[in-house]
Structure 1
């Protein structure tokens, strides 16, 4: 019985380790600060800090009928002028992480594609710039892998870098997950294999 319990504990521990890739981002879908129409939060929003330009939350149905990618709200990164937002993510030194989010160019942007670019930074390093034509379209799902963490925390930041005119790109569904080390998967497989062997032996009795 002790052997069975040990195997079960090993399998459960490994499952927990592999399943520990839940998002490390607070308020990644921007639902914490509920709004009924577009609203600028000059002091930032739950989980996210900003500069003097603030963070603009848009609800589903505005901007030509845009629906949020996740939930009912999303961010527009150009309030009355270009803005930015950042969050310090709890990380470990040289830990590996994956970042995912959704981007859309504002469909009714009178400034055209020049107003839509957004840059994304991880630990002060620019990862990419995203832009698009100002027309209705699906959200672009972005996945950026193999990101190294710093000791304590790593800053995730989004910056509007297009024409500073009050019309900007849209962001939603931001998530950061820790990538389990190969040893975690090996332990999971070993634990599950052990339990399968025990089950077969018990069935033979």
Structure 2
């Protein structure tokens, strides 16, 4: 399984993401530095399959669902093994304050427009939408004023990031048939019934790749260097 990259290859992949994609907006959000491209199928030519989020310390699957699906179906989709890797899941939502929706139109809570998107106390989808991609909610943060240009203007290299609701893997605490969700079309967060049809992204804790070679790689490198030294020695004594 070819998932380990050198720093140079990783930088090349990052350049690939930022080119040829009209929906990736340079200078908007932090995506150009905090989303690090990851090649999971061993083919750099077809672009990365995932992004390591250095702010949240999770890895996002680049390709989202192609259809809208129920929460149970979204969980099954997210949790399947990919490229020989398990541990994938739906993004999490942190329930702040009292259990359930602490609605605030002006933002800053766990429910409503412009929800908390900080690293430590905000949801992963909200952080991706507002901080990483620099997108806007329907309302200006801290106000009840309408905001033009809201929605997923910047996709940052993600595929199938549509103006739609996106499932969270976090169950809504005060209802047995609801989960948290984030609406990419309006920048609003709240509970949704399990039976609704929405989109989904998959994430995985940590980075899927280490740029440090494994011991096996070191062993192969040493063998190769030994062969080269042997050939050079024979040539010098011929």
Relative to the length of structure 2, the TM-score reads 0.28
Q: Under a length normalisation based on structure 1, what TM-score does the superposition of the two structures give?
A: 0.31
Q: Which has the higher contact order (CA 8 A, sep 6+)?
A: 1
Structure (1 or 2) with the greater strand fraction: 1
